[in-house]
Amino acid sequence: MYTQFTESVIEIIKSIPAGKVQTYGGISNLAGHPNGARQVVRILSSMSGKHDLPWHRVINSKGELPRLNTQMSTEQKALLISEKVKVSPEGKIDLKKYLWDGK
């Protein structure tokens, strides 16, 4: 059993269509908790496998891929490119073009 926020976050992440991205903060806003970006990070990292979440479609508010784990960033970049999302060599994505609005 999960909290309503956690269930909402899982459903929102599952709803991000191929070729689009959403930010951690954007997901928390859509789930009704504007200050919950860090919780979204925890939910995504702990539940991606269990719920088959498209984790690669979630990025930071600057439109950047995380640089913490090079292998994971490389995989995320490759998955996004396979969905026709343009990712710069620096790992940036044009949010004006690729940000999903939740509709």
pLDDT, tens digit, for every residue of 29-88?
A: 999 999 999 999 999 999 999 999 999 999 999 999 877 667 778 899 999 999 999 999
Q: Would you place residue 23 in the very low, low, confident or very high pLDDT band (cuts 50, 70, 90)?
A: very high
Q: Residue 32, CB half-sphere, CA atoms under 13 Å: how many?
A: 7
Q: Which two tokens stand for residue 21?
A: 């991205």
- Tell me the residue range of the domain where 68 lies: 4-89
How many domains does the chain divide into? 1
Check residue 24 and give its pLDDT.
96
102 found inside a domain: no
Mean pLDDT to the nearest integer, 85-100: 95
For residues 46 and 54, what is the distance between their CA atoms, to the nearest angstrom? 13
21 found inside a domain: yes
100 found inside a domain: no
pTM assigned to the model: 0.91
CATH number for the domain harbouring residue 70: 1.10.10.10
85 found inside a domain: yes
95 found inside a domain: no
